[in-house]
C-alpha cells in the first residue's frame, strides 16, 4: 500500500545493479541531459567550423573532440549515478582535495592562453584542463558533508567549517581572476547553507560582503572593471562579442535564419563556447532557445521535487546545491548573451564546447542523479506511510 501511495520502489535482495538503477533513477532528467548534449553537438557542427578553418584544421575537428569528451562525460555520469550517497560523499571529498591543490598551484604551473586569467593547466599533447570546473561539484559535496554533520547531536561545527572552505575557494578563484566561477561557488554555498537551517540575517551578511568584494574588485582589477563598464555602457559596441551576440539573437527571430545560414559564428571567437546560445538563436530561432531552457528547467525542478522529502541531510543539501548550481550556470551563460549580466566567461553545461566543462558537468549531474534516486527507506513519506498501515 505504501508503494502505491508514495510511488516508491522496493529494493529486492540480490537485485542486480543495473535493473535497480533503472527503476530508481530520474529518467526524465537523464533524458533531458542527453537531449542537451545532442543539441550541443548539433550547434557545434555550425559554431566550430569557422574556428577550425581559422586554425587550419579539419572542418569538424572541434565537433569530433566534443563528441569524444561528451561520450566520456556520459559514461562518467552514468557510473557516478549508480553510487550511494556515501560513495558520492567520498569521491566528493577526495576530488575536492585534489582539485583544490591544483587550483592553489595554478599561479605557478598554470597558463592563461592569452585570455588574462590563469585558469588552465597545460597537459602533454597540446591538451589542457580547467581545474575549477572539477572543483565545483566536489566543493558542493564536502560542504554538504560538513553541514549535515553539524545537524547530528554532538556533531562538529560543520557550517563554520564549510564557511571557511567557501571563503578560501572564492578568494582563490577571484585571484585568478575568475569572478564568474567564484560567484557560482558562493551562490551554491548560500543555497546549501539556507537548506541546512541558516538564519536569513547571516545570508544577508554574506550578500553584503559579496557586494563589498565586488566594489573592491572593480577598483583593483582592470579585467573586472572592463567587463562591468562594458555591461553598464548605454550602448553596445557592435564590434564586441556582446554586440555580435545581441545582433544575432535579434536576427534569428522566432524561427531563425536557417540551418547553417547564420553569420555570427564567423565573427564571434567564442561562438562555440561562451556564446553558443547566440548561434542557436540566430540559426534556429526562439524555438530552439526555449527548448534548451525547458530542458534545464526540467532537470532542476524535478531534482528539487525529488529532494523535497529526502531524509538524509547530506543527500538533501548536496543535491539541492548541485541542482541550483547547474541551473544558475546555464542562466548566467544565457543572461550574458542577452546582456542581462556582465560577461563571465562561463560555459553552457553540456552544450558549449570544452572537455573540462562537459566532463565536470557529467560528474556533477551524475552526483545529482545518484542523490535523487528513489530510496524507499530514506524518504519521510515511507515512515509516515508505515505508521498509518
Percent of the chain with pLDDT over 70: 86
pLDDT band for 2, please (50, 70, 90 cuts).
very low
Of 372 and 6, the one with more pLDDT? 372
Cβ(323)–Cβ(368) below 8 Å: yes
Name the H helices within 110-199: 131-150, 158-174, 179-195
Residues in a beta bridge with 111: 120
Rounded-to-integer distance, Cα 281 and Cα 248, Å: 7
Is residue 359 pLDDT above 50, yes or no? yes
143-175 in b/e burial notation, b at 16+ Cβ within 10 A? Answer: bbbbbbbbeeeeeeebbebbbebbeebbebbbe
pLDDT computed for residue 134 by the predictor: 95
Is residue 386 pLDDT above 70, yes or no? no
pLDDT computed for residue 301 by the predictor: 97
Among 21-25, 40-44, 269-273, the range scoring the smallest mean pLDDT is 269-273
What's the rounded mean pLDDT across residues 128-155? 91
pLDDT computed for residue 45 by the predictor: 86
Cβ(350)–Cβ(323) below 8 Å: no
pLDDT computed for residue 234 by the predictor: 60
Q: In Å, what is the CA distance from 103 to each residue of 12, 98, 172, 173, 176?
A: 43, 9, 8, 8, 9
Cβ(139)–Cβ(96) below 8 Å: yes
Domain map of the chain by residue range? 23-388
Cβ(132)–Cβ(356) below 8 Å: no
Rounded-to-integer distance, Cα 5 and Cα 9, Å: 11
Instruction: Share the mean pLDDT of the chain.
Output: 84
Among 26-35, 56-65, 139-148, 205-214, the range scoring the smallest mean pLDDT is 205-214
Dihedral in degrees, nearest 10, Cα atoms 110, 115, 117, 123: -20
Which of 3-7, 67-71, 225-229 has the highest mean predicted lDDT (pLDDT)? 67-71
Rounded-to-integer distance, Cα 284 and Cα 333, Å: 18
Cβ(321)–Cβ(188) below 8 Å: yes
**Cell 560538513, residue?**
146
Q: Judging by beta carbons within 10 Å of its beta carbon (0-12, 13-18, 19+), is residue 18 exposed, middle or buried?
A: exposed
Among 3-12, 231-240, 334-343, the range scoring the smallest mean pLDDT is 3-12
Cβ(343)–Cβ(231) below 8 Å: yes
Name the H helices within the chain: 2-6, 17-24, 27-47, 49-54, 61-81, 85-109, 131-150, 158-174, 179-195, 200-220, 222-232, 241-252, 276-307, 313-337, 355-371, 380-388
Cβ(196)–Cβ(159) below 8 Å: yes
Residue 253 Cα to chain centre, angstroms: 28
Q: What is the pLDDT of residues 367-385, one digit of tens each?
A: 999 999 987 654 444 444 4
What's the rounded mean pLDDT across residues 71-95? 96
Cβ(117)–Cβ(223) below 8 Å: yes
What's the rounded mean pLDDT across residues 103-115? 84
Percent of the chain with pLDDT over 90: 47
What's the rounded mean pLDDT across residues 16-23? 86
Residues in a beta bridge with 129: 121
What's the rounded mean pLDDT across residues 140-150? 95
pLDDT band for 100, please (50, 70, 90 cuts).
very high
Nearest to 172 by CA among 119, 116, 225, 95: 119
pLDDT computed for residue 5 by the predictor: 37
Rounded-to-integer distance, Cα 345 and Cα 275, Å: 9
**Cell triple for 142:** 564536502
What's the rounded mean pLDDT across residues 242-267? 82
pLDDT computed for residue 148 by the predictor: 94
Q: Kindly write down the DSSP assignment for every residue of 71-120, as one continuous string.
A: HHHHHHHHHHHTS-HHHHHHHHHHHHHHHHHHHHHHHHH-B-TTSSS--B
Of 10 and 201, the one with more pLDDT? 201
Is residue 54 pLDDT above 80, yes or no? yes
Is residue 238 pLDDT above 70, yes or no? no
pLDDT computed for residue 240 by the predictor: 72
Nearest to 289 by CA among 241, 231, 333: 333
Is residue 358 pLDDT above 90, yes or no? yes
Q: What is the DSSP-derived secondary structure letter of residue 270?
A: T
What is the pTM for the complete model shown? 0.87
Q: What is the pLDDT of residues 166-224, one digit of tens each?
A: 999 999 998 888 888 998 999 999 999 989 887 777 777 777 877 777 777 767 766 66
The number of beta carbons lying within 10 Å of the beta carbon of residue 198 is 16
Is residue 6 pLDDT above 80, yes or no? no
Dihedral in degrees, nearest 10, Cα atoms 126, 127, 132, 136: 180
Q: What is the pLDDT of residues 264-317, one digit of tens each?
A: 887 777 778 888 998 999 999 999 999 999 999 999 999 999 998 888 999 999
Amino acid at each position: 500500500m505504501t508503494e502505491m501511495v508514495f510511488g516508491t520502489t522496493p529494493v529486492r535482495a540480490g537485485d542486480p545493479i543495473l535493473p535497480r538503477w533503472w527503476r530508481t533513477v530520474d529518467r526524465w532528467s537523464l533524458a533531458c541531459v542527453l537531449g542537451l548534449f545532442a543539441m550541443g553537438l548539433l550547434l557545434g557542427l555550425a559554431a566550430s567550423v569557422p574556428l577550425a578553418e581559422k586554425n587550419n584544421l579539419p572542418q569538424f575537428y572541434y565537433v569530433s573532440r566534443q563528441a569524444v569528451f561528451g561520450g566520456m562525460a556520459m559514461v562518467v555520469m552514468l557510473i557516478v549515478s549508480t553510487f550511494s550517497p556515501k560513495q558520492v560523499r567520498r569521491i566528493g571529498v577526495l576530488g575536492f582535495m585534489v582539485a583544490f591543490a591544483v587550483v592553489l598551484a595554478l599561479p605557478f604551473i598554470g597558463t592563461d592562453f592569452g585570455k588574462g586569467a590563469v585558469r588552465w593547466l597545460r597537459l602533454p599533447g597540446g591538451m589542457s584542463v580547467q581545474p575549477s570546473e572539477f572543483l565545483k561539484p566536489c566543493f558542493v559535496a564536502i560542504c554538504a558533508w560538513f553541514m549535515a554533520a553539524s545537524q547530528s547531536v554532538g556533531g562538529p561545527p560543520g557550517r563554520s567549517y564549510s564557511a571557511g572552505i567557501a571563503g578560501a575557494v572564492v578568494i582563490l578563484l577571484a585571484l585568478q581572476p575568475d569572478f564568474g566561477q567564484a560567484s557560482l561557488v558562493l551562490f551554491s554555498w548560500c543555497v546549501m547553507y539556507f537548506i541546512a537551517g541558516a538564519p536569513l540575517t547571516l545570508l544577508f551578511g554574506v550578500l553584503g560582503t559579496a557586494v563589498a568584494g565586488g566594489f573592491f574588485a572593480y577598483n583593483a582589477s582592470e579585467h573586472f572593471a572592463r567587463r562591468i563598464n562594458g555591461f553598464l555602457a548605454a550602448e553596445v559596441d557592435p564590434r564586441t562579442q556582446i554586440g555580435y551576440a545581441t545582433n544575432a539573437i535579434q536576427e534569428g527571430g522566432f524561427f531563425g535564419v536557417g540551418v547553417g545560414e547564420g553569420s555570427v559564428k564567423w565573427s564571434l571567437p567564442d561562438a562555440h563556447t561562451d556564446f553558443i546560445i547566440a548561434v542557436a538563436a540566430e540559426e534556429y530561432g526562439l524555438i530552439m532557445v526555449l527548448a534548451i531552457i525547458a530542458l534545464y528547467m526540467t532537470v532542476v525542478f524535478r531534482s528539487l521535487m525529488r529532494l523535497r522529502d529526502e531524509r538524509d541531510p547530506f543527500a538533501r543539501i548536496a543535491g539541492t546545491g548541485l541542482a541550483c548550481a547547474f541551473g544558475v550556470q546555464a542562466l548566467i551563460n544565457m543572461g550574458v548573451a542577452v546582456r542581462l549580466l556582465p560577461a563571465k566567461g562561463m560555459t553552457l553545461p553540456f552544450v558549449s564546447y570544452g572537455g573540462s566543462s562537459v566532463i565536470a558537468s557529467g560528474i556533477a549531474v551524475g552526483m545529482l542523479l545518484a542523490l535523487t534516486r528513489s530510496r524507499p527507506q530514506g524518504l519521510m513519506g515511507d515512515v509516515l506511510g508505515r505508521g498509518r498501515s
